Amino acid sequence: MSDTALTFRRFKDGDNKPRRYAEQIVVNGDSYKCPTYIHRTPPCQGSCPSGHDIRGWLNIVRGLDKPADGTRWEEYAFRRMTKANPFPAIMGRVCPAPCQDGCNRNEVDEHVGINAIEQYIGDWALANNMTFPKPERETGKKIAVVGGGPGGLAAAYFLRRKGHGVTIFDSYSSLGGMMRFGIPGYRTPKDVLDKEIQRILDMGVETRLNTKVGVDVPMAQLEKEFDAVFWAIGAQAGKSLPVPGGEAPNVVSGIAFLKAFNEGRLQHLNGRVLVIGGGDTAMDVAAVARRIGHITHSHDKDRPESVILGQTVHDVASVARREGADVWIVYRRPIDKMPATKHELDSVIQEGVAIKESLVPLEVIRGADGRATALRVVPVDWEGKNMFTRDAEAFNIDCTLIVSATGQGGDFAGFEELDNGWGQMNADKFYRASAKRGHFVGGDVVKPHLLTTAIGHARIAGESIDDYVNGRELDKRPKVDVNHFNLLDELRSRKLEPDVCPSGERWGTSSAKFAIHNFEDRSSREIVPHEKLFLAHFRYEALNRRSEVHIDASSVLGNFKERFQGLSEKQAITEGNRCMSCGLCFECDQCLIYCPQGAVLRVPKKEHAIGRYVTTDYAKCIGCHICAEVCPTGYIQMGMGEE
């Protein structure tokens, strides 16, 4: 794309629809409305399930928001970033980045590389031994967290920040949940994961590993010992393939397959592997299967299902005799309807996985020994949401292993009363478990989704638990429920907070020091769309992409290198500068330059803070609307003067 292709106009040829009457107010360049400054949530943050203050830490990356105490910008950004998510190095690698899908920069050229910058900051923090501070005071309250995956660890982090005692119960010998056992290690390097987990434990979090609540510890004991319980058990009980013959021993779940691989037990396959499903778990299974390959001759005890089901462990020496595995993904809808991340789908295709779309499993064909030998499928056509089978065209696909990645549920052994009947737990908007008072829940056991979604649940649940154990009524949640920029906090950090408001009725606050003037915060209820931005301000700037290891079908076998190589500091800063700071001033001076009356002024340097860069002299302002028209970020709105 060239600069000349980027032409943005407020009005285009053929526009003839009049504005609302209330907006038809400018006569000979004057109106009664003057500018006011409206803070709204940027769409990147509104799209982030964990509620990152993305615009906030990108403003630090680009040098707009400088630390008051002179610390390095990476540390300052890390502190801001981890208010919402304690795993920047992991999430920067594996999060599919819905924030980038929502980025308004897509209307100019291409999204800001948010997760690449997050990875840079996360890796810098690990290299420089950044830690989380221990709470300044202990509340004496104790919270049990059941499950040590991303949701449980994040809940422990948020609760320790509030000073509560936290004990994590986990049935595995290591913490991490899906981050450790459900995602291949070449996507979540174990040393990175271990360090980010340890940072949370060092806050004073206690752990009880190899302990299954409901079996080793009754739920009643938790209720007796702790003031509240947070359930983060995930959905690691993979559902069986719901067709006749699906109980065959070599029909396994995607979760069980990945767990066996990540624990080092599964070293090779044999024959053709069919992966059923179209989500990211299916992509991970297929990618792993291609990497570990297959061997043509194996002992019965080395059959993959024996290893996956925990009956044996592969001999590592046998890996030397392997070849590329024949891996097919079978999905019931067309390939363009697959819910998997596009990059993951493109990668497995490049690595030699065959995609068989619009096929619905009918039956697992079993041999005399009860093992699956083939999967019978039927082609289907789709018209909207309606599926039509072509029954006469059903056929068999020979295979030696079928991996079902079509659904997951929680393991409720010992606390079955919390199961809603679908392998999940019901929760309200505060993430209180509907079945029991004093119990809270988050993550995949509410609804399987992203790792960052579980972290977002934990953040909200942590606030709810804090209110509950302190006997406070749970307040309503904001419509846009994320970590918002707070102008008062920004002013306090720079010792610019307003004076205490005097009691009684006051007039003439325009010159008073107890009010923040000419500012309205709508971020809790409004996300700024690209239509409110002046896109013509932004030139085309290419996305600074992370370099990616090229892996094709001929090089995938045994290739466990990380796909992405992180950005350099210079690249991270350059990419951060592409952020358009939607909904908040980024000090471009457009309003100063174009105001014909000189009514827009910079605030004195000693009073400057993010969000307080300019002010308006209303004695000079004629309401011409020019400042609002040229504001790139949609921060200025003509509203002062309305009743």
Do 223 and 255 fall into the same domain?
A: no
Which tokens belong to 111?
Answer: 């999204």
Q: Indicate the SS3 state at residue 414.
A: coil
121 and 224 together in one domain: no
Q: Decide: 114 and 103 in contact? Cβ < 8 Å.
A: yes
Q: Is residue 478 assigned to a domain?
A: no
Q: What whole-number distance in Å separates Cα of residue 183 and Cα of residue 422?
A: 24
Structural domain boundaries enclosing 182: 142-237+410-469
Question: Measured between alpha carbons, how far is 197 from 157 in angstroms, rounded to an integer?
Answer: 10
pLDDT digit string (tens) for 279-309?
999 999 999 999 998 877 666 666 777 777 7
What average pLDDT does the chain have?
90
Using a pLDDT cut of 70, give the percent of the chain over it.
92
Write the DSSP symbol of residue 183.
S
| 72 and 204 inside one domain | no
pLDDT given for residue 287 in this prediction: 94
User: Tens digits of per-residue pLDDT, 163-210?
Assistant: 999 999 999 999 999 999 989 988 999 999 999 999 999 999 999 999
Considering the domain boundaries, does residue 513 fall inside one?
yes
Residue 572 has pLDDT above 70, yes or no: yes
User: Is residue 569 predicted with pLDDT exceeding 90?
Assistant: yes
Take residue 545 and report the two structure tokens written for it. 């992409």
312 band by pLDDT with thresholds 50, 70 and 90: low
Contacts of residue 163, Cβ cutoff 8 Å, sequence gap at least 6: 135, 136, 137, 138, 139
**In this structure, what DSSP letter does residue 391 have?**
G
Q: Residue 152 phi/psi, 5° resolution?
A: -65, -45
The tally of domains found in the chain comes to 3
Kindly state whether residue 624 falls inside one of the protein's structural domains.
yes
Q: Out of 104-118, 313-327, 406-420, 605-619, which region has the weakest mean confidence (pLDDT)?
A: 313-327
pLDDT at 460: 97
Closest C-alpha among 180, 174, 77 to residue 119: 77
**Residue at 259 is within a domain:** yes
Task: Tell me what the mean pLDDT of segment 57-83 comes to.
Answer: 93
Q: Is the same domain home to 382 and 426? A: no
Residues 227 and 315 both lie in one domain: no
DSSP H helices in 62-140:
73-81, 88-94, 98-102, 114-127
Distance CA 528, CA 41 (A): 6
600 in any annotated domain? yes
Q: Is residue 215 part of a domain?
A: yes
Mean pLDDT of 483-503: 85
Which whole-number Å values give the CA distances from 112 to 50, 243, 480, in the listed order?
A: 18, 44, 21
Residue 60 falls inside a structural domain: yes
User: Residue 101 above 90 pLDDT?
Assistant: yes
Residue 388: per-residue pLDDT: 96
Distances (CA, A) of 335 to 182, 331, 340, 633: 23, 8, 10, 37
Alpha helix positions (H), 356-441: none
CA 475 to chain centre: 25
Phi, psi of 600, deg, nearest 5: -95, 130
The pLDDT value given to residue 268: 85
Identify the helix (H) or strand (E) that includes residue 374: strand 372-383
Q: Phi and psi at residue 30, in whole multiples of 5°? A: -115, 155
* 492 and 611 co-located in one domain: yes
Q: Which two tokens stand for residue 144?
A: 């049990």
pTM: 0.90
Same domain, 308 and 333: yes
Looking at the structure, do residues 93 and 12 belong to the same domain, yes or no?
yes
User: Do 288 and 391 fall into the same domain?
Assistant: yes
Q: How far is CA 68 from CA 60, 573, 609, 614, in A?
A: 12, 19, 11, 20
Task: Using alpha carbons, select from 640, 538, 518, 613 the residue that is nearest to residue 582.
Answer: 538
Q: What's the CATH code of the domain at 300?
A: 3.50.50.60
pLDDT interval class at 317 (50, 70, 90): very low
Q: pLDDT by residue (tens digit) across 228-273?
A: 999 999 987 767 788 999 999 999 999 999 999 998 888 888 889 9
Say if residue 179 is in the same domain as residue 78.
no
User: Tell me, what's the pLDDT at 310?
Assistant: 66
Q: Does one domain contain both 492 and 597?
A: yes
Joined together, the tokens standing for residue 416 give 């079955």
Q: Which of 385, 405, 425 is the last residue of a domain?
A: 405
Residues 560 and 596 in one domain: yes
Domain annotation covers residue 474:
no
Q: Which of 407, 526, 454, 433 is nearest to 158 (CA)?
A: 454
